[in-house]
Amino acid sequence: MNLAHEHVRAFLDDAASVLRSMVGTQLARRIATDERVISILVRARGALSGFTWTFSPEVAERVATHLVPGTAPDPQLCEAAASELANMLTGRGLQTLAERGLVLEIEPPELSRGGAPGATYVVDTDVGVVSVTIHS
Binding footprint of another protein on the chain (CB under 8 A): 14, 18, 21-22, 64, 66-69, 71, 77, 80-81, 83-84, 87-96, 98, 106-108
Please say which residue, 33 or 49, places its beta carbon nearer to another protein: 49
Distance in Å, CB of 120 to another protein, minimum: 21
Q: Which residue type is seen at 105?
A: E
Count Cβ atoms within 10 A of the Cβ of residue 21 and give its class: 0-12 exposed, 13-18 middle, 19 or more buried: exposed
Neighbours of 72 (CB within 10 A): 9
Please say which residue, 36 or 45, places its beta carbon nearer to another protein: 45
Count Cβ atoms within 10 A of the Cβ of residue 4 and give its class: 0-12 exposed, 13-18 middle, 19 or more buried: exposed
Distance in Å, CB of 42 to another protein, minimum: 9
Cα–Cα dist 91/89, whole Å = 6
Please say which residue, 35 or 105, places its beta carbon nearer to another protein: 105
Please say which residue, 28 or 67, places its beta carbon nearer to another protein: 67
Distance in Å, CB of 94 to another protein, minimum: 5
Distance in Å, CB of 106 to another protein, minimum: 6
